[in-house]
Amino acid sequence: MKTPFMLIGKSSVEINYLGLKIILMLCLWLPSINSNAQIVSNDSTSTRLKAFRATPNYKQDTLYIDFLYELARKSAIYDLDSLSKLAKETIDLSKSINYTKGEAIGYLSMGSYYSETGQREKAIENFSKALDKAKSINEITHILRAKNLLAIEYEYHEEYAKALREYLEGVELAKQTKSYSYLSTFYVNISNLYSSQKEIQQCIYFLKLAQENNKLVNDDYIKGLTLANLAASYIDINDLETAGSYVDESIFIFDKINLESWQMYAYELKAIIYNQQNQPSLALQWFKKSEKIHESIDQTRYKIPLYNGIAKAYFKLEDFKTSEGYALKALEISKTMNLLEDRDVTLQILYDINKTVNAPIKALTYLEELKTLSDTLNIKKNERELRILKSNLEFDQEKERYIIENEKKVAQQKYYFYSALFVLLSALVIIFILRRNNTVQNRLNNKLTQQSVQLKKKETFLRNSNNTKSRLFSIILHYCP
């Protein structure tokens, strides 16, 4: 099942439930918040909002627009209507004063709203606008965030090649700008792409890259997210011992930093492990901890897998009445929101319960409903598999393109390196020859100078000798008769 899920904690996060897998989005400048309270009614937030609105011309203040973006990101999990209104106000005010960064962040907020409400095409449109605006002013943080969110939406549409392109470009930009937090983000999200292709080992490989990169990031939040993803991956391959180790580490981190929204997810992972180990009582303890956090979150659709998990645990405990109650809650949400995903799981649980308690009419009703749903899902599955097949070809081509481009870059870097090395060696040879020639020339000049001095001395001696001879001849001639 693929659905978006925005969680607010130390930073804003978008995750995608694909079975147990998650996609995350990191922006690390948001402060820690208490998820037990409505964000927009937080005292400090309200005080800041009043302070802004008490200032003349506050609507033309870029700081106020930036603050609206903070509010939008913080309120998304609790009130989607507020998210929509804040996003619209951010865009309108930014356009009125030609504040390009404000438009970018406004489109990010609006895209998040459309993503949360399942309007994928509009989400892609807004994230693309955000990316263009951020690129026009080279706003790296928002370029990275827009690329990640855009890739997530492409993945929802099963356009894996497009998603991979955005992720890989994000990896390159994150490396160039040393944005290590985002680098971990892209590694984790690429791992989710491989998970969707059932290539779990490749998925784990990228998660390990993220884990290694996390050593450069002094942030428990990111480390916890990576560990939770690793736990989910090992659950996928039924390595429950390794999964349990990773989920325990993630829970320890989330408990330490009191990040309740991610505690909720980790608790469910822990519960699923216990359920698969046929320890329903322990599973229920962790499901209940997650359920308590769910009570404060305005994301009803994500209660479906939670209620299904609880129903399964109670069924194993042979508490069929309670099990049926939770399954019916999940079915009601599914029908109210017109969601087909996971409904087959719910109907199967209800059929098993009524068959076990010897209620054949109700069991048959659920079985027929399950059969009808299965036919619908099979049709959708066939359509989906055709789209996936097409996307897989593009996905492989995109991987090949990325490998070829990397090889070209490596070859180009080698060419530059060897060219520079050749120039350096040539320069050293020339310098050596010039210095040697200069040494030889200096030696010859010194020798010539010495010879010149000696010649001058001889010249002086000869001149003096000639003068002496001339005086002697003069004297002799003077005394001759």
- In Å, how far are 153, 160, 367 from 387, measured between CA atoms? 15, 10, 29
| pLDDT (0 to 100) of residue 320 | 96
Average pLDDT over residues 365-389: 68
Confidence class of residue 228 from pLDDT cuts 50, 70 and 90?
very high
Confidence class of residue 356 from pLDDT cuts 50, 70 and 90?
very high
- Greater confidence (156 vs 237) lies with 237
- Greater confidence (96 vs 298) lies with 96
Determine which of 212-216, 217-221, 468-472 has the lowest per-residue pLDDT on average: 468-472
| pLDDT (0 to 100) of residue 147 | 95
Largest CA distance in the chain: 173
Confidence class of residue 19 from pLDDT cuts 50, 70 and 90?
very low
pLDDT beyond 90 at 234:
yes
Average pLDDT over residues 8-31: 36
- Greater confidence (174 vs 72) lies with 174
Neighbour-count burial of 451, counting CB atoms closer than 10 A to its CB (0-12 exposed, 13-18 middle, 19+ buried): exposed
pLDDT beyond 80 at 5:
no
Pairwise CA distance, residues 188 & 182, whole Å: 10
pTM for the full predicted model: 0.65
Matching residue, tokens 């989330």: 254
- Greater confidence (270 vs 22) lies with 270
C-beta neighbour count of 137 within 10 angstroms: 13
Mean pLDDT of all residues belonging to the chain:
80
| pLDDT (0 to 100) of residue 11 | 32
Confidence class of residue 155 from pLDDT cuts 50, 70 and 90?
confident
Pairwise CA distance, residues 425 & 191, whole Å: 44
Percentage of the chain lying above the pLDDT 90 cut: 40
Confidence class of residue 377 from pLDDT cuts 50, 70 and 90?
low
Average pLDDT over residues 391-399: 56
| pLDDT (0 to 100) of residue 208 | 94
Buried b (16+ CB within 10 A) or exposed e, 193-230: bbbbbeebeebbebbebbbebbeebebbbbbbbbbbbb
Question: Which residue type does 387 have?
Answer: R
Beta bridge partners, 13, equal 7
User: Mind listing the domains of the chain with CATH numbers?
Assistant: 2-239 (1.25.40.10)
- Tokens representing residue 204 in the block: 């784990």
- Greater confidence (422 vs 5) lies with 422
Q: Under a CB-based contact definition with an 8 Å cutoff, are residues 17 and 3 in contact?
A: yes
Percentage of the chain lying above the pLDDT 70 cut: 79
| pLDDT (0 to 100) of residue 397 | 60
Question: What number of CA atoms fall less than 13 Å from residue 205's CA on the CB side?
Answer: 7
- Greater confidence (5 vs 284) lies with 284
Average pLDDT over residues 45-53: 79
Pairwise CA distance, residues 68 & 102, whole Å: 10
Query: Which element (helix H / strand E) includes 422?
Result: helix 360-479
Pairwise CA distance, residues 226 & 13, whole Å: 13
Confidence class of residue 2 from pLDDT cuts 50, 70 and 90?
very low
Average pLDDT over residues 53-57: 83
Q: Under a CB-based contact definition with an 8 Å cutoff, are residues 26 and 8 in contact?
A: no
Average pLDDT over residues 443-447: 77
Pairwise CA distance, residues 290 & 326, whole Å: 14
| pLDDT (0 to 100) of residue 474 | 66
| pLDDT (0 to 100) of residue 406 | 63
Confidence class of residue 480 from pLDDT cuts 50, 70 and 90?
low
Q: Under a CB-based contact definition with an 8 Å cutoff, are residues 423 and 415 in contact?
A: no
Q: What is the CA radius of gyration of the chain?
A: 38
Q: Under a CB-based contact definition with an 8 Å cutoff, are residues 40 and 82 in contact?
A: yes
- Greater confidence (302 vs 20) lies with 302
- Greater confidence (413 vs 16) lies with 413
pLDDT beyond 90 at 359:
yes
